[in-house]
Amino acid sequence: MLGGTFDPVHIGHLAAARAAIECARLDRVIFMPSGQPPHRPTAAASPEHRLEMTRLAISADARFAVSDLELRRPGVSFTSDTLRDLRALDRSAELFLILGWDAARLFSTWHQPDTVRRLATIVVVARPGSASPRQADLATAGLGGDRVILCLNPTPDVSASGIREDIKNGRSIAGKVPQAVERFIATHHLYAE
């Protein structure tokens, strides 16, 4: 599972999913747009728009799927609840949670981090623009020990906030999001204000 606001989904998200597939030998990645994230402000785009952009972004890769589970669930979107729901849907599945190092470094502050660790193996993907985590960094973040895979495959230096800023200022986002997502954003006039 790769969760996030996906506001908008971009090539960095897709690259992180592909890196995790390679590092952890995953069968597939479920992209999970968050409903109400506990550590971030409310998304600029509507849940429906974020879900559709994610569907468009992943459509070319059969190893990717998207779920609206968190968008349908009321209240704050806690990863522990989502993993419990995924476990209930398929008791035989081995769950992996893909986190960029920017999110992983805050793991010890999450709601029920021990439950998250019990339910899923954590795949930490390095993020460009910040130093790659070392084992000591993972331990400090509450991610020491087994059931943690550190994936240092390179991913593009792209951020959703930077993309929103580009759109707001009239700059091109070509190459930062899949073309179908770029067209969707333009058609629906997202992030212009």
pTM for the full predicted model: 0.94
Q: Which CATH number fits domain 2-155: 3.65.10.10, 3.40.50.620, 3.40.50.300, 3.40.50.1000?
A: 3.40.50.620
The pLDDT of residue 38 is 82
Q: List C-alpha distances in Å: 95 to 26, 119, 173, 181.
A: 10, 7, 33, 28
166's enclosing H/E stretch is: helix 160-168
Burial 6-43 (b: 16+ CB within 10 A, else e): bbbbbbbbbbbbbbbbebbebeebbbbbbbbbeeeeeb
pLDDT at position 134, please? 86
**Residue 46's pLDDT is what?**
96
Determine the Cα–Cα distance for residues 48 and 181; give it in Å rounded to an integer. 13
Overall residue count recorded for the chain in this entry: 193
User: Along the 193 residues of the chain, how does pLDDT read in single tens digits?
Assistant: 999 999 999 999 999 999 999 999 999 999 999 998 887 788 999 999 999 999 999 999 999 999 999 999 999 999 999 999 999 999 999 999 999 998 899 999 999 999 999 999 999 998 887 778 888 999 999 998 889 999 999 999 999 999 999 999 999 999 999 999 999 999 999 999 7
